[in-house]
Chain A
Amino acid sequence: MSAATADTLPQQRRKPVKVGKVASRGLFFLLVGVILLYILFPFYWAARTSFMPDSDIYLTPVQYWPNNFTFQHYINAFSETTFVRSILNSAIVGISATVIAILVGSSASYALARFNFLGRNVALYLILAMSMFPGISILGSLYTVLQRFHLYNTLYALIIVYLTFSLPLMVWIMQSFFRGMPRDLEEAAYVDGASQFQTFWRIMIPLAAPGLATVGILTVMGCWQEYLFALSFLLSSSKWTVPLAIANTGANQASAFQIPWGDQMAETLVVMLPLIAAVLILQRRIISGLTAGAVKG
């Protein structure tokens, strides 16, 4: 889609109010300013904290700009091998889980959307019921299952768990997506002799790309941030994902009681920036994906 497309989608058009137009425009931009401030202030605070020595954080009066600007935390972040390695681990887990979830989820969604078969409703409700499960409730049993399959302390464990937990949302969005698409193309494909699977793979999947991109982003972001399962199923620090590595950062403080704020903030920002860049590039896809039939309820 070209850059102009998203902007030319149907929009609210208002008849300009002549009286107080400048005032209402000014108020509008004030609102925009407040929104931006609200969204970005904690991010600014994290950045500020990452550029100042830890001991300065506790001083009053509060420093809005660091008095003792320092890059030390970033140097620490990059020299901590656990952290650098965790970025790789999180990328592997996130991408694998997302790719497999997309394949599994879109297959299931297509089946549920397009075919009527015995147990269809049951399957749909079962899948959606998963979004009800609190992670903490099944932690112990899940640990036992993973142990039995010798998956404890492996990245595979996280991949399987993350992909399963992203299935409900994926199926939810994709199956209403598929349902919203006209059947002509599939029928034409059948007439041409394509099998059901070829139709699905060659036609439906490419068309569903915007929706898939959306759920893909959501899943990757979720995997990137998940803490509880990662904490419970990984033992070696070489297997850690990013949240674990950051929360357990600590090569540089003297005692176990201290929290290395600056290092943690630096690491968080380092991790965040590529994520944001990726999301910025794909944000049009996200919105068009959500627009193109997903949010029909």
Chain B
Amino acid sequence: MERDDRLGREMTRFLRNWSRRDFLRRTGQAGALLATGSGVAAFLEACGTGSSSGGGASSTVNTSGLPAVPTVASDVVAVAKKSSGKTLVVSQDPSGKGGQVAKLAAAQFEKDTGVKISYVVAPSSTSDLYAQYQRVFTSKASTPDTVNIDVVYPGAFGQYLADLKSVPLAGDLAQKSYPSLVQNDTVSGRLVGLPYQGDFGFLYYRTDLLKKYGFANPPATWQELTDQATKIQAGERAASPNFYGFVFQGNAYEGLTCNAMEWFVSNGGGNIIDNGKVTVDNSHNVDFLNLAKSWVGKISPSGVTAFIEEDSRNAFTTGSAAFLRNWPYVYALAGDPKNSKIVGNFDVAPLPHGPGGESAATVGGWQYGINGQSALKEAAAAWITYRAGPDFQKYSAINTTVPPTMDAVSKDPDVLKANPWLSIQTNRVVRPSKLGTKYNQGSTFIFQAVNGVLRGGDAKSALGQLQTSLQSLLG
């Protein structure tokens, strides 16, 4: 074959030019290449280590446009100064305004106490973060010193976290948070989490549309919501074929568990697990799921069974929905002309309730925890006391619309002015985090069951199966 001839000619040419020196040179080249590769990698390692302990935190120049963060309180300084010069490794989500605030906080803390803060990234996806912490704890790593625990995970990570009652300051501060949060963060008698962000769900509605169709008030019951949404949608469909009455998060994921809890509790169906017993299979819940099923494809898009927060938020802020159930973060976006077409035409209200029930709001949010293996527990306690203290919570609430976890801060007039939705009176409910390490499994049973019904499945049998599955988890 001609191919072989060509190869043959090339081969012969190489052989003729072969020499010992050439061989050494080529080996040298390869070796140099290897060395360069590893050398650059090593250099970057060194660089990386150097800069990550700075992590932008050492700069005290504030270029973010945010006002100055609060200074560190004197009792906190007293505790932290004992570890002055050491570096605390803190888990932090670097994205958004929260990330910028974190940089300012680290700079301030170092200035006031001498303790350096080094941030390691907390991935923005909760399940990625869960996986990361699993790895950290099972390998008994001593860093990061502080971690951010989602409100449903104190039970899962409790045994790996330090008891805040045994470190200075943090335990006392935690008692100032909402009682349901404190109780949530207490695992086997140990207080493992210090709440710093307290999301809860509520109803957003279009004030202009309510007025247009003659509704004086936002719906108080779920049936009223259905009726109002149906009428408004019918009227708006002529102008916008993609208009829907009510959007929420119906995807098979954690957010649906949040929605489902609100539905069940507000309709008198209990908290899924009450006093250690599974109570989810009852007639109230069956009725509600049938109602929710009737929404899909009628007043909610058929795609609502795949909606997460942003999908539902977009439907609302682009003007394609009359009612929305979502977290507080939507408020600022809906009022921003760059992101919303409904500026000035929306307001908030507690979620509707069932007959004879009370409005309920699932609690979201975060708590600080201290790694049980940390060598700097006291410094860590000082840091999280600073970050979750009333002054900082007020700062965060005003500048980044982070919901506070303390009643005192929620009622502060400046905070209320920036976040009017904080005045919503509602019953805050917590998901069954007492399932501990089995929480993910339990929540998966719940959201898969509810999602199945929303997609057309039978409510009675779904809840019956859910009852059995959850009961088997409890042991």
Contact = CB atoms under 8 A, between A and B. Distances in A.
> Within 8 Å by CB, do A and B touch in the complex?
yes
B338 interface: yes
Contact of A58 (B4, B309, B314): B314
Interface string A88-99: 110011011001
Contact of B15 (A185, A250, A256): A185
B41 A159 contact: yes
Nearest to A253: B96
Interface in A226-243: 231-232, 235-240
Interface residues of B, number: 62
Contacts of A156: 41, 45
Contacts, number: 145
A232 B340 CA distance: 37
Contacts of B401: 254
Interface string B3-47: 110011011101100100011001100100110011011001101
B32 to A, nearest CB: 11
Interface stretch (B120-128, B294-302, B350-358): B120-128
Given A232-B131, A232-B135, A256-B93, A207 B7 contact: yes
B44 A237 contact: no
A203 B309 contact: no
A196 to B, nearest CB: 13
B303 interface: no
A60 interface: yes
B96 A236 contact: no
B99 interface: yes
Given A251-B96, A254-B332, A206 B14 contact: yes
Mostly helix, strand, loop or mixed at chain A's interface? helix
A83 B169 CA distance: 38
Given A92-B41, A156-B41, A202-B22, A236 B314 contact: no
Interface string B116-145: 000111011000100110010001000000
Given A185-B15, A188-B15, A238 B52 contact: yes
Contacts of B183: none
Interface in B88-105: 93-100
Given A236-B120, A292-B3, A55 B44 contact: no
17 contacts: A58-B318, A59-B318, A100-B37, A103-B30, A185-B15, A189-B15, A235-B120, A237-B119, A237-B120, A237-B121, A239-B48, A248-B94, A250-B124, A254-B97, A256-B95, A256-B124, A257-B309
Given A188-B15, A249-B95, A256-B98, 9 more contacts: A182-B4, A202-B14, A238-B55, A248-B123, A250-B94, A250-B95, A250-B96, A254-B333, A257-B329
Interface of A: 53-55, 58-60, 82, 88-89, 92-93, 95-96, 99-100, 103, 143-144, 147, 152, 154-156, 159, 181-182, 184-185, 188-189, 192, 194, 198, 201-203, 206-207, 231-232, 235-240, 248-259, 292
